[in-house]
Amino acid sequence: MKRDQLVITAPGPARIDPDALTREQLLGWRCALCGTLLTGDRPLGTVTVSQGPTLTTYPLWACDPNCATENAWRAAIGHAAGCEACRTGECATGQRLLDAYTAAFRQEHEGGAG
């Protein structure tokens, strides 16, 4: 699909700009919220698009576990894997990333993330 041929005819779920979705997000290969390649997913709802006379409804998917938690975990682990200071527990950046993951995890499990 060419973006100039794509017309959104129904709004997407909350916080999603349907016009900004990529082909991979519409096809369910990438998270509709953050664009990460999906390994685990959860349904978000649907968007309907028009291409000429054809209307197509696409189910949208998001990261599961939630994007904030998943991305915070990846950032913390990615940093720690190459950081000598993290191995000794003396890295401020590593601690900040771990704290961000912990906060996202708590928010998700308290039902505050979506």
**pLDDT tens figures, 8-65:** 444 456 567 777 889 999 999 998 888 888 888 888 888 887 778 888 889 998 888 7
Q: What angle do the packed helices 67-81 and 92-109 form, to 10 degrees? A: 160
Confidence of residue 114 (pLDDT cuts 50, 70, 90): very low
Q: How confident is the model at residue 30, as a pLDDT?
A: 92
pLDDT at 104 over 60: yes
Q: How far is CA 107 from CA 15, 16, 33, 69, 89, in A?
A: 18, 20, 17, 9, 25
23 by DSSP, 3-state: which?
Answer: helix
What pTM does this model have? Answer: 0.55
For the segment 84-94, the average pLDDT, to the nearest whole number, is 89
